[in-house]
């Protein structure tokens, strides 16, 4: 059946006097005795409905509760007093689903709730205009990311998520019982995307990945969407240039498609410097020492250090390049002019790493040596290493955390906010 002729957003002055059908949720409800004002919400936005005493619809409207789902027929009327200057005078109203009252969470944002309540009542929370805006921005961001990559000849690929062994070594994996055998959930498509770059040259993937994160921080979840790129005949400089184009594309895409959503969030997209400023890891250490931090070559640049760096640099988006080789995974290529550092980078938004990338090792001997140096057994990586015997091109790539990029695109401060149904140590539902 045809539930509606128009969406809430489509109701505008050009429809004045027309009879239309709408369907959606009762966002708010105001009773003025002889008149009821209903703000109707659907996936596109909100529009005001008016039900007047004496109309048949008035009787049905008596029963209405917030978040009930209704279908209405009505006439479009321009009215400057209404939100958006337009309202719909309802002649017919049917309740498709009546919501219990009181609601466990206020969807119309008159009462704010803490994050634990919001995550518990997430299906209602996602109906809030703010969260709808977040979801739209996310969809637009991923769309823009892919469009730029298609235009540059990248193929979207799908790598396996159940893997036989711990790929990168070290990080905590989730075990899966696979037909009676032990297997694991992929913590990243790293090795598979490298192999695919060795087959079809330029690939990307947007897919879930898992890390058994013990800690409860605003930047970690145990399940996350990883946006991965890998390209043969690229080095880390090529990848950084590509990434600049992708970041620009995502900002432009969100900026043009989601201006209403950004207003809803009361957020303005940041204006970054392009090309994105680059400093080396060594330079970062020097700056930090000048700022009085007790940090030396080889140390990890944890969030507190990045905060100091962000302030000292006065840049909100910057690359830190040439990380110590020992601090990066075995597949990272060392610089030939100074093997203590690697052809690697992190892209930092304020004090948060949002992308990590590098030129990869493309020689079996170098990979074996790098594994040994990290206390890993090359034999356990034979499923990966053997392909390097059959023509593996130089290649480079990166992994980008979607929910972290979303913090940049929404101004929100926790990845739990931007992920529809986040998973962490204590959350497996809803």
Residues belonging to the binding site are 168, 211-213, 353, 356, 360, 401-404
> Residues 15, 38, 225, 242: which binds a second copy (CB under 8 A)?
225
What DSSP string runs through 297-339?
A: TT----HHHHHHHHHHHT-SEEEEE--BGGGS-TTBPBPSS-T
Would you say the C-alpha torsion 202, 156, 406, 269 has a positive or negative sign? Answer: positive
Which of the residues 301 through 330 are near a second copy (CB under 8 A)?
A: none
Alpha-carbon distance 71 to 68, whole Å? 10
By CB under 8 A, tell whether 211 contacts a second copy: no
By CB under 8 A, tell whether 139 contacts a second copy: yes
| Residue among 350 and 422 whose Cβ is closer to a second copy | 422
By CB under 8 A, tell whether 297 contacts a second copy: no
Alpha-carbon distance 409 to 258, whole Å? 10
Q: What is the DSSP letter of 427?
A: B
Contact between residue 203 and residue 222 where contact means Cβ atoms under 8 Å apart: no
By CB under 8 A, tell whether 274 contacts a second copy: no
Query: Which region among 29-37, 124-132, 270-278, 323-331 touches a second copy (by CB under 8 A)?
Result: 124-132
Pairing of strands 155-156, 202-210: parallel
What DSSP string runs through 126-151?
A: TTSHHHHHHHHHHHHHHHHHHHHHHH
| Residue among 310 and 417 whose Cβ is closer to a second copy | 417
By CB under 8 A, tell whether 29 contacts a second copy: no
Query: Which region among 76-84, 123-131, 246-254, 299-307 touches a second copy (by CB under 8 A)?
Result: 123-131
Q: How far is the CB of 95 from a second copy (least distance, A)?
A: 10
- 72 DSSP β-pair partners: 22, 93
Contact between residue 359 and residue 235 where contact means Cβ atoms under 8 Å apart: yes
By CB under 8 A, tell whether 39 contacts a second copy: no
Distances (CA, A) of 257 to 45, 121, 211, 251, 410: 14, 28, 32, 10, 14
| Residue among 14 and 429 whose Cβ is closer to a second copy | 429
List binding-site positions for Mg(2+). Answer: 353, 356
94-115 exposure pattern, b = at least 16 Cβ within 10 A, e = fewer: ebeeebeeebebbbbeeeebee
Which of the residues 151 through 180 are near a second copy (CB under 8 A)?
A: 153, 155-164, 174-179
- In a 3-state reduction of DSSP, which class is residue 29? strand
| Residue among 32 and 162 whose Cβ is closer to a second copy | 162
Alpha-carbon distance 359 to 331, whole Å? 8
| Residue among 94 and 112 whose Cβ is closer to a second copy | 94
By CB under 8 A, tell whether 110 contacts a second copy: no
Neighbours of 257 (CB within 10 A): 16
List binding-site positions for L-aspartate. Answer: 168, 211, 356, 360
Which of the residues 81 through 100 are near a second copy (CB under 8 A)?
A: 96-100
| Residue among 193 and 350 whose Cβ is closer to a second copy | 193
Q: How far is the CB of 376 from a second copy (least distance, A)?
A: 18
| Residue among 143 and 278 whose Cβ is closer to a second copy | 143
Which of the residues 356 through 385 are near a second copy (CB under 8 A)?
A: 362-363, 383
Q: What string marks each residue from 232 to 261 as x (binds a second copy by CB under 8 A) or -? A: xxxx-xx-----------------------
């Amino acid at each position: 059946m045809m539930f509606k002729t128009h969406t809430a957003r489509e109701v505008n002055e050009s429809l004045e006097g027309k009879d239309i059908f709408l369907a959606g949720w009762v966002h708010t409800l105001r009773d003025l005795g002889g008149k009821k004002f209903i703000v109707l919400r659907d996936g596109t936005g909100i529009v005001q409905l008016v039900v007047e005493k004496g109309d048949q619809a008035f009787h049905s409207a008596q029963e209405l509760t917030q978040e009930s789902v209704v279908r209405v027929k009505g006439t479009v009327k321009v009215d400057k007093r209404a939100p958006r200057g337009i309202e719909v005078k309802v002649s017919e109203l049917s309740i498709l689903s009546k919501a219990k009252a009181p609601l466990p969470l206020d969807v119309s944002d008159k009462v704010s709730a803490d994050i634990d309540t919001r995550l518990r009542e997430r299906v209602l929370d996602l109906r809030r205009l703010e969260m709808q805006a977040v979801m739209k921005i996310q969809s637009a961001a991923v769309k823009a990311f892919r469009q730029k990559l298609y235009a540059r000849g990248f193929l979207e690929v799908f790598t396996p998520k159940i893997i036989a062994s711990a790929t990168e070594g070290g990080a905590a994996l989730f075990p899966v019982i696979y037909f009676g055998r032990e297997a694991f959930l992929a913590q990243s498509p790293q090795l598979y995307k490298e192999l695919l770059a060795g087959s079809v040259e330029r690939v990307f993937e947007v897919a879930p990945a898992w890390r058994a994160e013990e800690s409860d921080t605003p930047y970690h979840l145990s399940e996350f969407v990883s946006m991965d790129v890998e390209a043969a005949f690229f080095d880390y400089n090529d990848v950084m240039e590509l990434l600049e184009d992708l970041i620009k594309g995502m900002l432009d895409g969100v900026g043009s498609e989601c201006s209403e959503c950004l207003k809803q969030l009361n957020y303005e997209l940041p204006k970054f410097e392009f090309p994105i400023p680059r400093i080396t890891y060594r330079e970062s250490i020097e700056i930090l020492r000048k700022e009085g931090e007790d940090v030396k070559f080889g140390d990890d640049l944890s969030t507190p250090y990045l905060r100091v760096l962000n302030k000292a640099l006065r840049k909100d988006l910057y690359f830190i390049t040439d990380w110590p080789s020992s601090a990066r995974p075995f597949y990272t290529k060392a610089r030939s002019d100074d093997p203590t550092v690697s052809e690697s980078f992190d892209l930092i938004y304020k004090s948060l790493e949002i992308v990590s990338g590098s030129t990869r090792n493309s020689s079996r001997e170098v990979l074996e040596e790098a594994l040994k140096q990290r206390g890993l057994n090359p034999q356990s990586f034979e499923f990966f290493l053997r392909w390097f015997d059959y023509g593996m091109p130089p290649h480079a790539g990166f992994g980008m955390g979607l929910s972290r990029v979303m913090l940049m695109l929404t101004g929100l401060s926790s990845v739990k906010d931007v992920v529809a149904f986040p998973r962490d140590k204590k959350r497996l539902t809803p």
